[in-house]
């Protein structure tokens, strides 16, 4: 039996690691950070288009971002944009989207994808997704795990268990972000993959888990269904969303779900965690400079330069710097200090500067 497939794109994020390009009102997923012309969220939709037509792509974002997100994804029906009145972590987000899918087709399979990742090999990515979709058909909650390439301490890990079918494995356990020693062990021992935050399940299966593990939330979602029949969903969501438990989907549902599986994959995945990653993904000149500006670079190498159209950026004698000019803000820092953009953002927040 072939089930219809929906995609739910989680796009409520508002990180600061790509400041000053990203702002509260224009976060990372709305920016073309992967080197092309498309925003990350538009790339996400385009990437899965061979698997899911746009009328079955739902996006969950915040009310603040709903308009800009809809404008960025003009191929989607407007009703496919779900606007959370406030962020309550990922469990309510997935649950609400699952309720929407269930209304349309209870046995449909839905995949849940982050809006702001980069995939270097979309073809292999789609093959991995097809495997995960197939594995979800009989009611399992499936995640895709990324084959690790370094002892990363910034991600959660999943330990694979026995093989269930081709490319599909049982899950032995979820592991929180490890310290470096444990991360090195995981990498050396094999059988551990990074938790990608991508999930695959039937709408009815995941909502059954909500009823079992988060019954109050499940009851609220049922009320949303009832309100939707009366055309009052937005109103009821706005008045009740804050009462939903703020918990991650991993922690609230996946980790203790009755039937879970993992599909390991390797497809040039990056969560685009900082300007350093943007540099790594960008095309570069002979001196390893990634220049997204009208640049004149003299005796300079390894620099990432971004500036508004028409602006001339001249560098002399500089190496491994990030230079980002957004018109109203200029940021300059060594590439290796990219995580410390947070220090600047903290200063601006403390002085209530609107340019955050």
Between 26 and 337, CB nearer to a second copy: 337
Helices 215-229 and 203-213 cross at an angle (nearest 10°) of 130
| Cα(167)–Cα(183) distance, integer angstroms | 23
Between 253 and 323, CB nearer to a second copy: 323
Between 226 and 314, CB nearer to a second copy: 314
| Cα(311)–Cα(327) distance, integer angstroms | 9
Binding stretches for a second copy (CB under 8 A): 20, 296, 298-299, 307, 310-318, 321, 323, 325, 328-334, 337, 340-341, 343-344, 347-348, 353, 355
CB of 355 to a second copy, least distance (A): 6
Between 264 and 295, CB nearer to a second copy: 295
| Cα(20)–Cα(26) distance, integer angstroms | 10
CB of 319 to a second copy, least distance (A): 10
Between 231 and 354, CB nearer to a second copy: 354
**Nearest-10 Cα torsion for 48, 54, 60, 62:** 120
Q: How many CA atoms lie within 13 A of 216 on its CB side?
A: 9
Q: What is the DSSP code (8-state) at residue 340?
A: G
CB of 293 to a second copy, least distance (A): 8
Contact 327, 308 (CB under 8 A): yes
Q: What is the DSSP code (8-state) at residue 49?
A: T
User: What angle is formed at CA 206 by the lines to CA 193 and CA 252, rounded to 5 degrees?
Assistant: 65
Task: Tell me which residue of 198, 338, 332 sits closest to 280, measured CA to CA.
Answer: 338
Between 137 and 331, CB nearer to a second copy: 331
Contact 330, 317 (CB under 8 A): no
Count the neighbouring beta carbons within 10 Å of the beta carbon of residue 213: 18
CB of 277 to a second copy, least distance (A): 17
The gap from C-alpha 255 to its chain's centroid, in whole angstroms, comes to 19
CB of 278 to a second copy, least distance (A): 16
Q: Which residues of 6-35 are buried (b: 16+ CB within 10 A; e: fewer)?
A: bbbbbbbbbbbbbbbbbbeebbbbbbebbb
Between 20 and 178, CB nearer to a second copy: 20
Contact 40, 344 (CB under 8 A): no
CB of 313 to a second copy, least distance (A): 5
Count the neighbouring beta carbons within 10 Å of the beta carbon of residue 223: 14
| Cα(78)–Cα(98) distance, integer angstroms | 18
Between 7 and 315, CB nearer to a second copy: 315
CB of 335 to a second copy, least distance (A): 10
CB of 283 to a second copy, least distance (A): 21
Between 188 and 316, CB nearer to a second copy: 316
CB of 300 to a second copy, least distance (A): 9
Q: How many residues does the chain have?
A: 356
């Amino acid at each position: 039996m072939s089930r219809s497939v929906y995609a739910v794109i989680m796009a409520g994020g508002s990180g600061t690691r790509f400041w000053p390009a990203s702002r509260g009102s224009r976060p990372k997923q709305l920016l073309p950070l992967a080197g092309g012309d498309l925003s990350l969220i538009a790339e996400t939709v385009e990437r899965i288009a061979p698997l899911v037509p746009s009328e079955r792509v739902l996006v969950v974002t915040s009310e603040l971002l709903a308009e800009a997100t809809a404008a960025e994804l003009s191929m989607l029906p407007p009703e496919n944009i779900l606007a959370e009145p406030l962020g309550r972590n990922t469990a309510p987000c997935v649950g609400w989207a699952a309720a929407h899918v269930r209304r349309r087709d209870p046995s449909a399979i839905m995949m849940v994808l982050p809006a702001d990742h980069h995939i270097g090999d979309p073809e292999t990515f789609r093959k991995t997704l097809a495997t995960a979709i197939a594995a979800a058909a009989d009611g399992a909650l499936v995640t895709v795990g990324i084959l690790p390439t370094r002892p990363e301490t910034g991600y959660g890990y999943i330990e694979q268990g026995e093989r269930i079918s081709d490319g599909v494995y049982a899950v032995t356990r979820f592991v929180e972000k490890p310290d470096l020693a444990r991360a090195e062990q995981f990498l050396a021992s094999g059988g551990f993959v990074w938790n990608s935050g991508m999930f695959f399940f039937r709408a009815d299966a995941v909502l059954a888990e909500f009823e079992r593990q988060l019954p109050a939330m499940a009851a609220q979602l049922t009320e949303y269904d009832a309100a939707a029949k009366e055309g009052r969903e937005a109103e009821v969501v706005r008045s009740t969303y804050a009462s939903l438990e703020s918990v991650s989907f991993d922690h609230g549902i996946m980790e203790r779900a009755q039937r879970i599986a993992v599909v390991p994959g390797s497809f040039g995945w990056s969560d685009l965690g900082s300007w350093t990653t943007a540099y790594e993904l960008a095309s570069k000149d002979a001196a390893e400079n990634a220049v997204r500006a009208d640049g004149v670079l003299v005796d300079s190498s390894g620099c990432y330069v971004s500036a508004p159209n028409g602006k001339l950026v001249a560098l002399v004698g500089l190496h491994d710097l990030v230079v980002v000019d957004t018109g109203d803000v200029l940021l300059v820092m060594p590439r290796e200090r990219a995580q410390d953009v947070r220090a600047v953002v903290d200063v601006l927040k403390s002085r209530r500067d609107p340019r955050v």
